[in-house]
């Protein structure tokens, strides 16, 4: 038997301690099939207990090569592709592309068409933000706000469908205006090509309803202590980091930057209307949720103002039957529900673009995931990812 | 008739009868609560809920669901620890069944009135924790493991407030027998919630955590851990977890009713009426609490694991201890 | 109808003769600071900088011009022979044009920085030290065009599987599905039969 002198005892105890405390990190694969990754995002994280390190997003499960495809398609065909990028707000994706093509062709779009585009874009924004407001509390464990939000979204989608024929992929824009749909006006029996009768009045009502529902949602979600505990101070994104990563849209505004492309760009006549740019204070999950909620109200306000002042006139400018876009390059950026959506269009005078660079918001928005998720707890990973409101189609294009 | 009743004097026959009763009660109660949850959640969410099964209000929905579960393939992951994996759901259900033993449904209407009834109930209720941990460990799935560990941490943390919350009523009643506690409340003429409101609230919070229901459903947390410790389960094994959850809602509520709300007793109801009305009164009270649980489930989001721990250790345990001290002091003084 | 603005100086004032473009002042400011040539085409400011000043130009743009918002980075493959899509109407210098878009967060002024790269040795210094967001965009350009970004911390495939061979956005990369079967949509390009002009009268306003 070995004698237990002080030295051996110390060694033994140390050995004991080191054996007992030996822990191993676990590699956790979140996705591509996981309830909270909004599709097929995959995160590879090193997990120590509940804490995650070295989070590596793996994307591309949904890459459809739209940039390549658009090189072999004509301009009218590309609108069908681009509204599949961010399918939650399909309509809003078409607008900047069409505006880019119109810019190169130097077409003056009739004002009524511009107003219709604005109305539908804002409705797409409302529906996208409502999806966020539905899914975000669900990711935090509250199931009921989902139904409150989706009920309102259904209202919006029904109206969008009544005009465009599609709930998700409207494909309603044409170069030079919007698709002339047969409808009948309220004051004449003559068949005219315009919005369906009663659409504007219905939409105005729907916006009133949405405004009420937003108050209801705020009451339901914001008044909840647990939601506050789960989102306040979680996933803080400083404005400098957001800018360097190209994080845009509500995520950027939640970090306190009052930057809204609707105020600075002229792709749609936003300068004619009065709306506020909503900003957050701390850039945490709570602010990102709140900014989106409040933006629904602003969008509803915009739609109502646009309906009140929509001019009459044609829906389409005169465009050639065969669309050929003159040689040139332009970049048109727009404030989409998810953030900055832009198209860098290089045309060589042909019927399709020579190169179309699609700048999608979610791609940049989630490129900072490794930064923001470093050291986060697993439940916070879900809370942070949900608050960024990305769509995989918008990431992978 | 008498002959049949005499037959029940035989130990084995009465045991068999009791077992049969429990075996029937658990699926029945599970189904009633499950159906209530479906319909109530639908009402809270502007939905209709189950509608077609059974022809009216979809009353047969859960029967159809149960049949469906039995038809499903029983999948066991290749890497799973097979015996443990198979035993886990049974252990969870056994814990629930064993709790039924000490619930007093009426005067003399109890499967077995143990002297240490409440002690037994609290001890048994942690049995299902082991089942949950076994399920999480044996599934060979990282999400299951995390769910199982969360469950273990959570159930240990909430066992203490649960026990401490009970002590107040036990001090007031001066007995640990479940029948004795109800009888003490009848004798006192008021349910103990009057003086034990704090204890009742702590008990209900801790019970929700024990049941791993929202806002404390981190071990399952479908948006984080897919389905936690039940991720790999399918078919009737999954049904067992499902059933245990609903039956546990019932038993936990029944214990709370017994301890704080006067059990099967209502003020002003004479003893001979209680003889037959007791179970109905108990059920009524229990379903009130179950309704509250369902209501919470569809209103609240879930806590984070560390927030739950600090709630248990920093708030519930000190308040519960304070409650015991105040109760004991008052008991001695008056 | 096809009124193509010519390259270079003339393009700056092509759309509106004599009238100074509202972005001209901004374009000149950027060009002067980063030491490049500015050009305004259809409301888009593009500043050409030499490849060896790529990082310095961005550093200046971020620090001195307040262009803190990194919008995107991508490339154009200028090629005379194409396997997919229409060929160019006139001969160009075979080159990669790498572009990055920077913006401020106040007025929404955006500048597209551009540089030309030789196709044979397409290599450019990484921007990740200036804009952290360049990381993924450069990975995308790397896998889509085969452009090397020197000093990039993790230059590997972003979208495509690791085993994927080839660079899909190169003009020399054929679109396989089109090789097998021509796109039926091409018929749409043909002239449509004449129809009556749509009524523009609008009673509901």
pLDDT tens-digit series, residues A165-197: 888 888 888 888 887 665 544 555 555 567 777
pLDDT(B294) > 80: yes
C-alpha–C-alpha distance, residues C103 and C105, integer Å: 7
Residue B331: per-residue pLDDT: 81
Per-residue pLDDT band at C2 (split at 50, 70, 90): very low
- B223 touching A (Cβ < 8 Å): yes
Q: What is the pLDDT of residues A311-321, one digit of tens each?
A: 887 777 887 77
Exposure of B247 in the CB half-sphere (CA atoms within 13 A)? 25
A26-396, what's its fold? Cytochrome-c3 Hydrogenase; chain B (1.10.645)
Distance from CA of A393 to the nearest CA of B (A): 20
- Give the single-character DSSP code of C194: P
| Alpha-carbon gap, residue A179 to A116, rounded angstroms | 11
Interface test with B, best of A25, A28, A141 (most B CBs within 10 A): A141
What's the rounded mean pLDDT across residues A226-233? 86
Q: Is the pLDDT of residue A12 over 60?
A: no
State how far residue C189 is from chain A, nearest Cα, in angstroms.
6
Q: Where are the domains of chain A?
A: 26-396
Segment holding B276, helix H or strand E? helix B271-297
Strands A182-184 and A191-193, how do they pair? antiparallel
State whether residue A377 is helix, strand or coil: strand
Rounded to 5°, the CA angle B273-B276-B280 comes to: 105
Calpha distance A276→A278 (Å, rounded): 6
Residue C135, chain A, CB below 8 Å: the answer is: yes
Pairwise CB contact (< 8 Å): B224 & A226: no
CA C194 – CA A322 distance, rounded (Å) = 12
Residue C154 near residue A54, CB atoms below 8 Å: no
Do residue A72 and residue C85 have CB atoms under 8 angstroms apart? yes
A13-39 mean pLDDT: 67
DSSP per-residue letters across A2-55: ----HHHHHHHHHHHHHHHT----EEEEE-SS-TTSTTT-EEEEEEETTEEEEE
Residue A79 has pLDDT above 70, yes or no: yes
Of A332-336, A380-384, B244-248, C21-25, the range with the lowest mean pLDDT is C21-25
Look-up: residue for tokens 């103002």?
Answer: A305
CA distance B288 to B155: 24
pLDDT of residue A184: 47
Q: Whole-prediction pTM value?
A: 0.83
pLDDT confidence of residue B234: 82
User: Which residues on chain A place their C-beta less than 8 Å from a C-beta of chain B?
Assistant: 26, 28-29, 34-36, 50, 137-144, 146-148, 151, 224, 226-227, 229-230, 377-382, 386
Asked whether the predicted pLDDT for residue C58 surpasses 80, the reply is yes
Q: Given an 8 Å threshold on Cβ–Cβ distance, is C86 in contact with A245?
A: no
Percent residues over pLDDT 70 in chain B: 98
Tokens at B254, concatenated? 């029944």
CA distances C115 to A210, C53, C54, C91, C143, Å, are 48, 9, 7, 19, 19
Q: Round to the nearest angstrom and report the end-to-end CA distance of chain C.
A: 33
Q: What is the mean pLDDT of residues A154-171?
A: 86
Q: Which residue of A has its CA nearest to B216?
A: A141
> For chain B, what percent of residues have pLDDT higher than 90?
0
Average pLDDT over residues C85-95: 81
Report the candidate in B148, B129, B157 with the shortest Cα–Cα distance to residue B309: B157
Q: What is the DSSP string of C71-139?
A: EEEEEEEE-SS-SSSPPPSS----EEEEEEEEE-SSS--EEEEEEEE-STT-EEE--TTT-TTHHHHHH
Tell me what pLDDT residue A23 has: 66
Contact of B254 with B103, CB cutoff 8 Å? yes
Q: Where are the domains of chain B?
A: 73-333
Whether C107 has a pLDDT exceeding 80, the answer reads yes
A38-77 in b/e form (b: 16+ CB < 10 A) is bbbbbbebebeebbbeebebebbbbbebbbbbbbbbbbbb
DSSP classification of residue A355: E
Q: Which helix (H) or strand (E) holds C148?
A: strand C148-150
- CA C123 – CA C34 distance, rounded (Å): 20
**Contact assignment for A340 to C71 by CB distance below 8 Å:** yes
Question: Max Cα separation, chain A?
Answer: 110
Q: Is the pLDDT of residue C18 over 70?
A: no
Cβ–Cβ under 8 Å, residues A127 and A195: no
Q: Do chains C and B touch (3 or more CB pairs under 8 A)?
A: no
What DSSP designation does A260 have? Answer: -
Touching partners of A (3+ C-beta pairs < 8 Å):
B, C
Q: What is the pLDDT of residue A15?
A: 47
Cβ of A140 within 8 Å of Cβ of B303? The answer is: no
Q: What is the mean pLDDT of chain A?
A: 83
At residue C6, the pLDDT reads: 42
Q: What is the mean pLDDT of chain B?
A: 83
Are the beta carbons of C201 and A310 separated by less than 8 Å?
A: no
Which has the minimum average pLDDT: A179-193, B77-91, C126-140?
A179-193
Nearest CA in chain B to A380: B304
Q: Does the pLDDT of residue C102 top 70, yes or no? A: yes
pLDDT at B74: 82
Residue-wise burial string across B289-304, b where 16 or more C-beta atoms lie within 10 A, e elsewhere: bbeebbebbbbbbbbb
Burial of C165 (0-12, 13-18, 19+ CB in 10 A): exposed
pLDDT tens digits along A112-138: 888 988 999 999 999 999 999 888 888
pLDDT of residue A45 exceeding 80: yes
Q: Do residue A380 and residue B217 have CB atoms under 8 angstroms apart? A: no
Is there a contact between B180 and B192 (Cβ–Cβ < 8 Å)?
no
CA A174 to the chain's CA centroid: 23
List the beta bridge partners of residue A333.
A342
Whether residue A31 is predicted with pLDDT greater than 80 in this model: the reply is no
Residue C41 binned pLDDT confidence (cut-offs 50, 70, 90):
confident
Give the C-alpha separation, A64 to A92, whole Å.
Answer: 19
pLDDT for res A193 = 66
The tokens describing A255, both together, are 């970090």
Superfamily of structural domain C9-81+92-189: NADH:ubiquinone oxidoreductase Nqo5 subunit (3.30.460.80)
For C:181-200, CB contacts with A below 8 A are 183, 185-186, 188-192, 198-200
According to the model, what pLDDT value does residue C205 have?
41
Nearest CA in chain A to B143: A28
A189 touches chain C (CB under 8 A): no
**Touching B: which chains, 3+ CB pairs < 8 A?**
A
Count the alpha carbons within 13 Å of A256 in the hemisphere toward its beta carbon. 10
**Contact yes or no for A343/A358 (Cβ under 8 A):** yes
Burial C141-156 (b: 16+ CB within 10 A, else e): bbbbbbbbbeebeebe
Q: Which residue has the tokens 């729907």?
A: A206
In this complex, the residue of A34, A148, A230 whose CB is nearest that of residue B226 is A34
pLDDT at B65: 83
Which of A181, A166, A21 lies closest to A116 in space, CA to CA? A181
Chain centroid to CA A299: how far? 14
Give the pLDDT of residue C193. Answer: 52
* pLDDT-wise least confident of A171-185, B314-328, C51-65: A171-185
Mark yes or no for CB contact C41/A248 under 8 Å: no
Instruction: Give the model's confidence band at C184: pLDDT under 50 very low, under 70 low, under 90 confident, else very high.
Output: low
What is the percentage of chain A residues whose pLDDT exceeds 70? 90
3-class state of residue C69 by DSSP: strand
Distance CA A388, CA B265 (A): 53
Q: What was the pLDDT predicted at C37?
A: 82
Residue-wise pLDDT tens digits, A280-311: 888 888 999 999 999 999 999 899 899 988 88
- Tell me, what's the pLDDT at C125? 87
Q: Check: CB of residue A164 under 8 Å from CB of residue A91.
A: yes
> How close is the nearest chain C Cα to the Cα of A33, in Å?
17
For the residues B313-328, what does the mean pLDDT come to? 88
* Region C7-33 average pLDDT: 65
Residue C83 has pLDDT above 80, yes or no: no
Task: Enter the tokens of residue A123.
Answer: 């409705």
What is the model's pLDDT at position A65? 85
């Amino acid at each position: 038997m070995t004698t237990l002198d002080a030295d051996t005892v110390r060694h033994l105890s140390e050995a004991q301690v080191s054996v007992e405390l030996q822990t191993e990190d676990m590699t956790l694969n979140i996705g591509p099939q996981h309830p909270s990754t909004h599709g097929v995002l995959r995160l590879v994280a090193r997990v120590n207990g509940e804490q995650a390190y070295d989070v590596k997003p793996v994307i591309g499960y949904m890459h459809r090569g739209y940039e390549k495809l658009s090189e072999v398609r004509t301009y009218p065909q590309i609108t069908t592709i681009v509204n599949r990028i961010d399918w939650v707000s399909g309509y809003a994706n078409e607008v900047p592309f069409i505006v880019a093509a119109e810019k190169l062709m130097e077409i003056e779009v009739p004002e009524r068409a511009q107003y219709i585009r604005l109305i539908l874009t804002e409705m797409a924004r409302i529906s996208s933000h409502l999806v966020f407001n539905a899914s975000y509390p669900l990711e935090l464990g509250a199931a009921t706000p989902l139904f409150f939000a989706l009920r309102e979204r259904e209202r919006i989608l029904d109206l969008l469908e009544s005009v465009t024929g599609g709930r998700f992929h409207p494909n309603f824009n044409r170069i030079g205006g919007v698709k002339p749909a047969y409808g009948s006006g309220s004051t004449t029996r003559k068949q005219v090509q315009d919005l369906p009768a009663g659409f504007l009045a219905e939409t105005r009502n729907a916006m009133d309803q949405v405004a009420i529902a937003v108050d209801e949602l705020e009451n339901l979600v914001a008044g909840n202590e647990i939601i506050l505990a789960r989102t306040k101070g979680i996933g803080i994104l400083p404005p400098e980091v957001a800018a360097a990563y190209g994080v845009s849209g509500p995520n950027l505004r939640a970090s306190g930057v009052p930057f809204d492309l609707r105020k600075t760009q002229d792709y749609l006549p936003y300068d004619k209307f009065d709306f506020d740019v909503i900003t957050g204070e701390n850039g945490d999950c709570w602010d990102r949720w709140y900014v989106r909620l409040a933006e629904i109200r602003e969008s509803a306000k915009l739609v109502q103002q646009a309906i009140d002042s929509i001019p009459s006139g044609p829906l389409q400018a005169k465009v050639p039957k065969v669309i050929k876009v003159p040689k040139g390059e332009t970049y048109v950026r727009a404030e989409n529900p998810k953030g900055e959506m832009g198209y860098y269009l290089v045309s060589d005078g042909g019927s399709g673009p020579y190169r179309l660079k699609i700048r999608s918001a979610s791609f940049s928005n989630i490129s900072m995931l490794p930064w923001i998720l470093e050291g986060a707890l697993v439940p916070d990973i879900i809370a942070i990812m949900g608050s960024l409101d990305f769509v995989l189609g918008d990431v992978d294009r | 008739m008498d002959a049949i009743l005499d037959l029940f004097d035989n130990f084995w026959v009465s045991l068999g009868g009791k077992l049969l009763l429990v075996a029937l009660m658990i699926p029945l109660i599970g189904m009633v609560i499950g159906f209530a949850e479906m319909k109530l959640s639908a009402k809270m969410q502007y939905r209709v809920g189950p509608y077609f099964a059974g022809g009216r209000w979809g009353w047969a929905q859960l029967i159809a669901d149960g049949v469906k579960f039995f038809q499903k393939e029983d999948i066991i992951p290749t890497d799973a620890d097979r015996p443990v994996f198979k035993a886990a759901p049974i252990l969870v259900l056994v814990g629930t069944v064993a709790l039924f033993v000490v619930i007093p449904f009426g005067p003399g209407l109890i499967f077995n009135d143990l002297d240490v009834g409440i002690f037994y109930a609290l001890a048994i209720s942690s049995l299902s924790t082991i089942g949950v941990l076994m399920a999480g460990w044996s599934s060979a799935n990282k999400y299951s493991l995390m769910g199982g560990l969360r469950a273990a941490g959570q159930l240990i943390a909430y066992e203490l407030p649960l026990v401490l919350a009970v002590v107040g009523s036990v001090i007031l009643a001066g007995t640990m027998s479940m029948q004795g506690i109800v009888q003490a409340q009848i004798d006192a003429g008021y349910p103990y919630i009057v003086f034990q409101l704090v204890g009742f609230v702590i008990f209900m919070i801790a019970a929700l955590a024990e049941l791993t229901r929202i806002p404390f459903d981190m071990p399952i947390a479908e948006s984080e851990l897919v389905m936690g410790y039940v991720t790999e389960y399918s078919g009737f094994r999954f049904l067992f977890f499902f059933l245990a959850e609903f039956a546990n809602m019932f038993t936990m509520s029944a214990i709370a009713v017994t301890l704080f709300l006067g059990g099967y007793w209502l003020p002003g109801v004479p003893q001979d009426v209680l003889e037959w009305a007791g179970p109905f009164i108990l059920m009524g009270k229990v379903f009130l609490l179950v309704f509250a649980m369902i209501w919470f489930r569809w209103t609240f989001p879930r806590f984070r694991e560390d927030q739950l721990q600090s709630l248990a250790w920093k708030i519930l345990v000190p308040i519960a201890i304070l409650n015991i001290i105040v109760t004991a002091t008052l008991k001695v003084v008056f | 109808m096809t009124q193509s603005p010519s390259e270079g100086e003339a393009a700056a004032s092509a759309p509106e003769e004599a009238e100074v473009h509202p972005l001209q002042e901004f374009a000149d400011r950027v060009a002067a600071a980063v030491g490049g040539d500015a050009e305004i085409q259809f409301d888009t400011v593009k500043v050409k900088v030499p490849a060896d000043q790529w990082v310095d130009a961005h550093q200046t743009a971020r620090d001195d011009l307040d262009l803190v918002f990194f919008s995107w980075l991508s490339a154009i493959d200028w090629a005379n022979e194409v396997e997919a899509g229409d060929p160019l109407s006139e001969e160009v210098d075979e080159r990669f044009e790498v572009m990055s878009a920077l913006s401020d967060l106040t007025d929404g002024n955006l500048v597209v920085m551009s540089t030309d790269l030789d196709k044979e040795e397409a290599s450019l210094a990484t921007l990740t030290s200036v804009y952290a967001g360049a990381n993924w965009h450069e990975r995308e350009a790397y896998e889509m065009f085969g452009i090397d970004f020197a000093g990039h911390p993790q230059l590997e495939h972003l979208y495509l599987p690791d085993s994927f061979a080839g660079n899909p956005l190169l003009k020399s990369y054929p679109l396989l599905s089109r090789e097998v079967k021509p796109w039926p949509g091409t018929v749409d390009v043909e002239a449509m039969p004449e129809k009556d002009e749509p009524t523009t009268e609008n009673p509901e306003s």
